[in-house]
Structure 1
Amino acid sequence: MNRNKTICIIEDDPNYLMLTQKMIEFTTLFKEILTFRNGKQAFEGLMDRKASHGDFPDFILLDINMPIWDAWDFLDEFSKHTQDWNGVVYIITSSIDKVDESKSKEYSLVKGYLKKPVGFEKIIEIFNL
């Protein structure tokens, strides 16, 4: 994989966020790791990034249940601005609700639905290594 890629983690659990960030850093696959604690913060941050850098991250790891905006709120708004985006979203969640998994398939941006905890091997696998 080309190390010029950027990844974004949207996760409200500080421990899981730190663990995921450390696993991704360990792969040395990404030049930049962005982190946000809820969907609204992520949406605003990514729109600011688009305005200043001209692009969105290549990958987004998205938790479902978060305060302020959950994954669905984020995806509803973010998808309005991604017509020319070639990146992908992976939902990473502790939700065992089949409705959530089914709903994730309604979004063309979502490439996969993974249940926590996601280990290092799975992180490597989803980036096709």
Structure 2
Amino acid sequence: MKVDTVCIIDDDPICVYGTKILLNHNNFVSANILVYEDGYEALNNLTSLLKSGQRMPDIILLDLNMPVMNGWEFLDKFQKLTFRNKPQVFIVSSHFDQSEIKKGRSYELVRDFISKPLIAKNLNDIIAMSKVAV
């Protein structure tokens, strides 16, 4: 599978900027990058994509701590949607504990946890875990 779209859901503009730079410098140049500042905005826009018959992003990089709708609330609602292609969600956070890891593993879409700041090795790990060919 080729990465067509990567979705970043994060309210920190510095993290978003850094992630976009990493994506553009690590073989993701051909990928579309969608950015949403909170779970509510992401849920609304991704639901609209589904309703219009478009594909979901291949990879979602999801922050947990955001205003309006946090990452957990987003996952609770997002997992109830019916997908043509199931995105692989990677939770990207500056801190998480064992209870959050256990909770994250209860979501079928969550592939793994990545510590902020995202670095090039993390992207390579994401590719390996996703079995995604870029």
Deviation of residue 100 (structure 1)? 1.3
3-state SS of the aligned residue for 1:112? strand
The number of residue pairs the alignment matches comes to: 128
- What TM-score, normalized to structure 2? 0.86
Q: Percent identity?
A: 33
In the other structure, the counterpart of 1:89 is: 89
Structure 2: which 5+ residue stretches go unaligned? none
Read off the aligned partner of 2:18 and give its amino acid letter. L
Aligned match of 2:13 = 14
TM-aligned CA deviation for residue 37 of structure 1: 0.5
Q: Where does the alignment leave 5 or more consecutive residues of structure 1 unmatched?
A: none
Q: Structure 1, residues 25-78: CA drift from partner, whole Å, max 9, x if none?
A: 222424300000000000001111222352211110000110011111100111
Q: Give the alignment's TM-score, normalised by structure 1.
A: 0.89
2:68, 2:82 → 1: CA distance?
22
Larger RCO of the pair (alpha carbons < 8 Å, separation 6+): 2
Query: Which runs of at least 4 in structure 1 moved beyond 6 Å after TM superposition?
Result: none
d(CA) in 1 for partners of 2:61 and 2:110?
10
Q: Distance in 2 between matches of 1:75 and 1:28?
A: 27
Q: Which deviates more from structure 2 when the two are superposed, residues 53-62 or residues 13-22?
A: 53-62
After TM superposition, list the pairs within 5 Å mapping 1:67-78 onto structure 2: 67-78=67-78
Q: Secondary structure at the match of 1:81?
A: coil
**RMSD (Å), alpha carbons:** 1.7
Range moving further from structure 2, 80-89 or 112-121: 80-89
SS in 2 for 1:101: helix
Amino acid at match of 2:81: H
